[in-house]
Structure 1
Amino acid sequence: MSEMINYGIDLGTTNSLISKFNAGKVEVFKNPRGHKEGLPSVVGFRQDKILVGDKAREYSNKDPKNVISRFKRKMGTTETYRIDTINSSKSPEELSSLVLKELKGFIHSGETIDSAVITIPASFDTIQSNATKEAGNLAGFDNVILLQEPIAASLSYANKDNSNELKNSQWIVYDLGGGTFDVALVKIIEGELTIVDHEGDNFFGGTDLDALIVEHIVVPQLESKGTFANLLNEMKSSTGRYEKEWYRFLNAAEDAKIELSSDKSTEIEYVLDDDNGNEVEGIITFTRSDFEKLIKDKVTETTQMLKKILTRQSIQPQDLKFVLMVGGSTFIPFIRQHVEEVMGIPINTDIDPTNAITVGAAFFAGSKKKETVTKKTIDNKSNIKVRAIYERNSQDSEEMFSAKIEGDIAGMTYRIISADGAFDSGSKELKTRIHEDLPLREGEYNLFEFNILNSLGNQVHHAQEQVQIAQGKYSVAGQMLPEDLCLVKDDLILKDTKLDCIFEQNAVLPSRASQTVEAGKTVLKDSEQDVIRVMVVEGSSDNHYLSNKPIGTLEISGANIKRDLLKGTEIDLTFELSESRDLTISAYLNGTGQEFSQVFNPKKREVSPQTLGTEIIMLEEMIHKEQEEAAENKNYNMEENLGKSLKDVQTLMLDAGEIPEDSVTDEKFQLEDKKRKLAQQVHQLTSSKRVDAAKQDYQELKGSVSKLIQENGNDHEKHQVRQVIGREQVFLMSNNPNTIEAATDELGSIQYKILMRMPNYLVHMFELLVESRVSMNDQIQAKNLIENGIHLIESESWDDLRIVIGRLWDLVPEKEREADGYRLFTGIV
């Protein structure tokens, strides 16, 4: 009988917790040392000993350079932490795995766990999500399922004893933790929780408020008492004279911040030598009011994100039940007060904001079955289809399970067994319709296995092998995708790339999508230089692909294929996205009959302050160019808006210039995020140019295709063209360049197919390529192909001539192809 995962972990920036779901209740485990629920996410190295948690935090007062904290936000980056005492470096994933291993020791039963649900911010991108799974694997978890924190918090609240009033309601989760921020709109529909929309910042949390205290209160005070040439930079640099003080003061600032949640004032003591070697000693006193002034702008940014969600979803604060406050930083009185004032509705603090995430994760884990490595023999060739009907959430003691079975079921049987073994339907004959009354345990997630066996007793694979019914509990309808996932394709008209959205933002996971593309060039068998790239990026489909985050690339070269892949050949792409956002892509090449598949492992994020500065300068130059063009066209509104973006870019440039190349902070990642958003903003501001160009290209192509189709098109092609033209009022009025370009591509594809079967056009193409023979890369091959082409024209062998044209085209140097308007980056159109 299959087991449930049951264990939920909140892997936090500053604190982490572990809990277990058992018999409808959740237990949050306490640290056997000190009997506290939370474990500080801090790792220290003292010679050959590894310290984790409170001991590591205490040791940081003595040796801060060998104690690492706040590493969660660097997960999924190339950053590593140099540990002098072991003469080695550790990645954020390795450090996180040490925290996870320490949490295993909290389990007082001594049970060994190999599976867990680990929470992540809803705004974590795919790279960060994969890094979290990697940390779990390094800690010895064979099976890791990721859960978004706003869902976990909502599960924690909704599954309390007094949760009946939440039926078909909606609320906002305001989650400000130690290092990240999420705000999400959550709905319950028919007993299932789902995130409808969200905003977030992966680089804002309580630790940033600590940094504000150090930068704006502590450092100015120290500079007024001693002689320091560049104190703050010397603190933030890994080779700086005062690097140790940065960590010490951050910890002191965190303690002071916590004190201000209950006290009106606080103190930070300091003792250090200045640049001249003179001891500077004293006490810094500041008030809650001082702190609130310091954090006001940052807190206002969070409520601006909240307002964006309400605007996008066309709802008023009064439509919400409450704002659920989650995360240790929401203990700060000013934050609670500000959110309540902005929203005009009550904030909800009924759950413990420090453990709500792990409690919700355990509820979710109680509904998830462990994945086992060894399975029964499965007949994957089965054509059995099961359509099940049952209530997934119930207040009754039993529920009716019904299913309609399609396919060849002769000799087959079925059996339904509960996960706890209390219910067993026994083996029964499989019919086209079956019904079973399933008994439910009160206040629990009830899981049943629905097994179908063939005449040999082997399990037959089908889509309803697991049946889950929550009795008196809320379950999760599915997690949402924080950003679009897009396919990068070549845009032959604009001589650039364009994005096709595969999965839209807020799509419910898991999900599957299919798309058919065409090879934009001929790929010769055995040629390692000829490559088709199936590239996926994360971010809005309205952006340029360079403004989005790369997820992965499936490369298919000539060395991988059995025969030449001709230009125009259809490629069937299938994308599968798991609940934990593992992306699998399959590409079927119709021309060769081969299929290629790959699970994407996103490249880790790498940011250098120097490279960041260069990219910001390039962005500034691009804005200047766009401004000049807008002025020439008397588009004064665009010129003004670009001017505002330019000011933001110049401010960003100054901030980037102050970051040491060896900075110990994560400021460079924060600024890189800002640069990416500014680049997207500029791209959107100038999108009207693309719209005008796209409309013109469409009208021109429509004219030429309409004439061509009447003279040479078949009935199917004429029908296709009529369908496109019939939709033109919709896509032309949309003012969305991607939508208009997609329609143009449809016409272009029809045009190309017609032209490529017209002898006159083929001969014309061949003659143009013959004229380019001198510049071709392989003269001997070119000579042979041209001689062969002449014979094929004489014998009117047009199919073979098409192949020769494709191979000749691939011998043309890339620069000449670009000069003719072709720049193939991916090789698919």
Structure 2
Amino acid sequence: MSKTIDFGIDLGTTNSLIAKFSGGKVQVFKNPRGHKEGLPSIVGFRKDKILVGDKARDFSAKDPKNVKSRFKRKMGTSETFKIESIKASKTPEELSSFVLKELKGFVQSGENVESAVITIPASFDTIQSNATKEAGKLAGLKEIILLQEPIAASLAYANKDSSIDLKNSQWIVYDLGGGTFDVALVKIVEGELTVVDHEGDNYFGGTDLDSLIVEKIVAPHIETLGRFDNFLAELQSASGKHEKSWYRLLDACENAKIELSTDMSTEIEFELEDDDGEEVEGVVTVTRSQFESLIKEKIESTATMLKQILTRQSLQPSDLEFVLMVGGSTYIPYVRSLIEELMNIPVNTDIDPTNAIAIGSAFYAGGCQKLDTNASSEKTDSNSSLKVKATYVTSTQDEEEIFAAKVVGDFADYTYRIHSVDGSFDSGTKPLIARINEELPLRKGEFNIFSFTILDSTGNTVPHSHEQIQIAQGRYSVAGQVLPEELSLVKDDLASNDTVLHKIFERNCILPTRATRTVEVAKTIVKGSNDLPLKIMMVEGDSNNHFLSNKPIGTLEVDGHQLTKDLLKGTEIDITFEISTSRDLTVSAYFNGTGQEFSQIFNPTKRDVSPKQLGSDIIKLEEAILSEQESASDNIETEKELAAVQREVQELLLETGNLSEDSITDDKFKLEDKKRSVAQKLHQITSRKRLESCKQEYKEVKELVTGIAHEAGNDQEKHRLKDIVRREEVFLNSNSYSTIESAISELNSIQNTILFRTPAFLVNVFEHLVDSRVSMNDQLQANSLIETGKSLIQSEQWSDLGLVNARLWDLMPQDEQNIDQTKFVTGII
């Protein structure tokens, strides 16, 4: 039985495949019912029978409402698909699990597929990644490893032909599939492959090109042939009169798109009833030039993403080997020619774009040890007195490789032997020792398998966890997968009455990874109370943006009923964040105030978008822009930027207004992504204003504190001030207002330390409080404290006067406590 996972699955939006790594080669399995490699990712429900693949596609011609497709793009959302024939709804994860189960049936060797590598777009967020694993578990997979599709494609190419020399090279993977788009910069350094940077769009793929043909060519033509009231809206609504026709037209346009890759024109047939019940049928001709004109803007947008990567990485087109084309939609000749023309980089079409992802995932699976046989960790063997820990690389460009093993236990008179299964190498029988080092010769460009046998003193074989050694020569391995977006913690910012993001994980950091942070509790939570719980939100996206511009991926939540004692305001919480290669996020928190530890309390949040709520959010965004425009009347450049953002918001409002609550398209998710993009632009504009304000405030506070320190500061306080001033060039040029605000906070701390031991300041504060006594909450206590304060001033007991001031301050109404204390500095500077 293999100790590696071996099976790789490409779970696609339109088609899915399964492959297996065995003996150094990859086999892509064919459907035993039709002998085709791919399985259409379509699920149909006919009474009590579930149809998957081609049978479901055929059934859709008769009953499209009970056939579901393109559900991959809704993975990780709250969306469900209503199935009329079973009077129930299915989630995208459940529908995907039916596809995975059908793929498992392609394996006719008698093996049970219990572990697999499943590919995901590199731009899939954390929630979508978790949803993919959920689909795998629903399909009966016990162990699932996720692999980013650009890595899979690159493995398929790099391991396709051992004669290809890719040492220390880099290229772009351009992956335009049925439902998603990825463009990634891939490097090979010292035989290891990794994604360095990427861009992507989870809502652009071949299915969107099909929709364009329906929306821009077919639907307008049909409207001229009968009476239709808002035909397109009725096509795209779950309760629309023509919903069934939407699915039929999409399928017809998909076939037309495929035909246009080889033919200069094609015909799309249609048959439906208009709003009066009159039959409308006919044929619409679509030419290749029409189609290319239709998709030009979309394909140009993918080239823009590619250019963004080159700019970020300071690369020129000449620095790249090629653009590797992957995904069924890259069969479109116009896609290949336009990208080559726009980027001036050779296009590489040496691998089959439809099965490359599955092949690459199988290569990766062949190097993944199953959970119970990890080659790099120590295992207890069936003989409890013997433990073997082995270290070796599974892929190498060298023609010899060292196998090292550490043996622990009672192995007196034991022997071992290592030999290749093809008979080309045999170490001979040797006495078993605590540390084994064997130099294994490797056949060039092949997958080398060795047996590692241990015999006891009587000549019986001793089972252990490293009986088979597998090393691929001339093959490339993966250095690590990267995190596609930053993950940040949302924290309250009391100074601005808003929130700030604290970055936990960097974009493009190598997985798995771990981080710790310490935060303070912003409010007291009473043990056993029903008070609002402590909430710590995690978001995915640029940490320089406002948290509302990023995707919420979950909340860490603890309430009073979980506490063993009161959790006081200001108590420190130590939080540990861990994220696996497959994007499993674990958050653990230790409460220093109660001594409690909460593990794995992170609750992922599925994406939920309502057109009505989306419209409301966009209106609030427009109001925020209008507010900013009022305060930016003296800045022409800012006014122009705000006007451009406002135009985008107005376009968004128009598009959202055309959406029905029961839209069967992905448009609401696309529009929400656009809304986040616009919100990011607005935040960047307002951040610049805040940045300039912070810089000005820093200069004013520095001048004030410098004077106070000169007059009344001690050596330690003056040294702290000098240290801040020494660093100011760095944080003033950082373009991060939070960093500058932190410096201002440090200056205020120095100021407070000096002022609260300075008699003139303490007296001025006391006199202000005396004048304000009428507004204090407890007049009796206030009068008593004032008399005590007067006595302390006479006796010059300044430290005690500071305590009296603090108690009087607490008696003031909350809105009067927030007074700039520098107004009391009279006589000090």
Deviation at 1:755, TM superposition (A): 10
State the partner residue of 1:646: 646
Amino acid aligned to 2:4: M
State the partner residue of 1:354: 354
Residue 444 of structure 1, aligned match among 443, 447, 456: 447
Residue 474 of structure 1, aligned match among 473, 476, 480: 476
State the partner residue of 1:459: none
Relative distance call for 1:684 and 1:418 in structure 2 (3 A) is farther
The whole-number CA distance in structure 2 between the counterparts of 1:222 and 1:126 is 42
The whole-number CA distance in structure 2 between the counterparts of 1:507 and 1:666 is 30
The whole-number CA distance in structure 1 between the counterparts of 2:23 and 2:354 is 23
Deviation at 1:687, TM superposition (A): 1.4
8 Å Cα contact 1:554-1:598 kept in structure 2: no
The whole-number CA distance in structure 2 between the counterparts of 1:612 and 1:638 is 26
8 Å Cα contact 2:162-2:474 kept in structure 1: no
The whole-number CA distance in structure 2 between the counterparts of 1:748 and 1:119 is 52
8 Å Cα contact 1:367-1:447 kept in structure 2: no
State the partner residue of 2:99: 99
Residue 593 of structure 2 is aligned to residue 591 of structure 1: yes
Deviation at 1:330, TM superposition (A): 0.4
Relative distance call for 1:275 and 1:559 in structure 2 (3 A) is closer
State the partner residue of 1:455: none
State the partner residue of 1:87: 87
Deviation at 1:439, TM superposition (A): 6.1
8 Å Cα contact 1:97-1:135 kept in structure 2: yes
The whole-number CA distance in structure 2 between the counterparts of 1:571 and 1:412 is 49
State the partner residue of 2:383: none
Q: How many residues are paired up? A: 766
The whole-number CA distance in structure 1 between the counterparts of 2:773 and 2:528 is 24
8 Å Cα contact 1:483-1:538 kept in structure 2: yes
State the partner residue of 2:549: 547
Deviation at 1:209, TM superposition (A): 0.5
Deviation at 1:308, TM superposition (A): 1.1
Matches within 5 A, 1:681-760: 681-699=681-699, 723-744=723-744
The whole-number CA distance in structure 1 between the counterparts of 2:562 and 2:70 is 44
After superposition, what is the alpha-carbon deviation per residue over 1:161-185, rounded to whole angstroms, capped at 9, x for unaligned? Answer: 2454211001111100000001111
Relative distance call for 1:444 and 1:736 in structure 2 (3 A) is farther
Deviation at 1:514, TM superposition (A): 2.0
Relative distance call for 1:393 and 1:113 in structure 2 (3 A) is closer
State the partner residue of 2:398: 396
State the partner residue of 1:456: none
State the partner residue of 2:345: 345
Relative to structure 2, which stretch is displaced further, 253-262 or 699-708? Answer: 699-708
State the partner residue of 2:463: none
Relative distance call for 1:373 and 1:427 in structure 2 (3 A) is closer
Q: Give the secondary-structure state (helix, strand or coil) at the position aligned to 2:151.
A: helix
8 Å Cα contact 1:171-1:186 kept in structure 2: yes
Deviation at 1:264, TM superposition (A): 0.8
Structure 1: which 5+ residue stretches go unaligned?
Answer: 379-386, 452-463, 776-781, 822-829
The whole-number CA distance in structure 1 between the counterparts of 2:350 and 2:747 is 58
8 Å Cα contact 2:709-2:718 kept in structure 1: no
8 Å Cα contact 1:44-1:59 kept in structure 2: yes
Deviation at 1:314, TM superposition (A): 1.2
The whole-number CA distance in structure 1 between the counterparts of 2:267 and 2:546 is 49
Where relative contact order (Cα < 8 A, 6+ residues apart) is larger, the structure is 1
State the partner residue of 1:181: 181
Relative distance call for 1:7 and 1:679 in structure 2 (3 A) is same
Relative distance call for 1:67 and 1:758 in structure 2 (3 A) is farther
Superposition TM-score, scaled by structure 2 size = 0.83
Residue 515 of structure 2 is aligned to residue 513 of structure 1: yes
Amino acid aligned to 2:733: M
Relative distance call for 1:126 and 1:155 in structure 2 (3 A) is same
Deviation at 1:562, TM superposition (A): 3.8
After superposition, what is the alpha-carbon deviation per residue over 1:205-241, rounded to whole angstroms, capped at 9, x for unaligned? Answer: 0000000111111111111111111111111111111
State the partner residue of 2:297: 297
The whole-number CA distance in structure 2 between the counterparts of 1:178 and 1:22 is 29
Residue 243 of structure 2 is aligned to residue 243 of structure 1: yes
8 Å Cα contact 1:114-1:142 kept in structure 2: yes
Matches within 5 A, 1:302-451: 302-372=302-372, 393-400=395-402, 428-429=433-434, 437=439, 443-444=446-447
Deviation at 1:518, TM superposition (A): 2.8
Relative distance call for 1:124 and 1:770 in structure 2 (3 A) is farther
Relative distance call for 1:298 and 1:818 in structure 2 (3 A) is farther
The whole-number CA distance in structure 1 between the counterparts of 2:714 and 2:592 is 23
Deviation at 1:719, TM superposition (A): 7.1
The whole-number CA distance in structure 2 between the counterparts of 1:817 and 1:317 is 61
Q: Give the secondary-structure state (helix, strand or coil) at the position aligned to 2:604.
A: coil
Relative distance call for 1:609 and 1:448 in structure 2 (3 A) is farther
Matches within 5 A, 1:61-210: 61-162=61-162, 164-210=164-210
Relative to structure 2, which stretch is displaced further, 418-427 or 117-126? Answer: 418-427
Deviation at 1:399, TM superposition (A): 2.1
Q: Give the secondary-structure state (helix, strand or coil) at the position aligned to 2:599.
A: strand
After superposition, what is the alpha-carbon deviation per residue over 1:43-99, rounded to whole angstroms, capped at 9, x for unaligned? Answer: 000001000000000000000000000000011111111100000000000000000
State the partner residue of 1:504: 506
Q: Give the secondary-structure state (helix, strand or coil) at the position aligned to 2:244.
A: helix
What is the RMSD computed on CA atoms of the aligned residues? 4.4
Deviation at 1:186, TM superposition (A): 0.7
The whole-number CA distance in structure 2 between the counterparts of 1:156 and 1:488 is 40
8 Å Cα contact 2:555-2:605 kept in structure 1: no
Deviation at 1:741, TM superposition (A): 3.2
Relative to structure 2, which stretch is displaced further, 66-75 or 652-661? Answer: 652-661
Matches within 5 A, 1:797-808: none
Question: Radius of gyration: which is bigger?
Answer: 2
Deviation at 1:772, TM superposition (A): 9.3
8 Å Cα contact 1:534-1:555 kept in structure 2: yes
Amino acid aligned to 1:45: F
The whole-number CA distance in structure 2 between the counterparts of 1:476 and 1:752 is 54
Matches within 5 A, 1:789-828: none
Relative distance call for 1:661 and 1:566 in structure 2 (3 A) is closer
Q: Give the secondary-structure state (helix, strand or coil) at the position aligned to 1:277.
A: coil
Superposition TM-score, scaled by structure 1 size = 0.83
Q: Aligned residues: percent identity?
A: 60
Residue 630 of structure 1, aligned match among 625, 629, 632: 632
Relative distance call for 1:566 and 1:705 in structure 2 (3 A) is farther
Relative distance call for 1:566 and 1:693 in structure 2 (3 A) is farther
After superposition, what is the alpha-carbon deviation per residue over 1:603-637, rounded to whole angstroms, capped at 9, x for unaligned? Answer: 11111111111111111111111122111xx2111
Relative distance call for 1:548 and 1:745 in structure 2 (3 A) is farther
Matches within 5 A, 1:47-66: 47-66=47-66
8 Å Cα contact 1:584-1:598 kept in structure 2: yes
Residue 703 of structure 2 is aligned to residue 666 of structure 1: no
State the partner residue of 1:231: 231
8 Å Cα contact 1:445-1:473 kept in structure 2: no
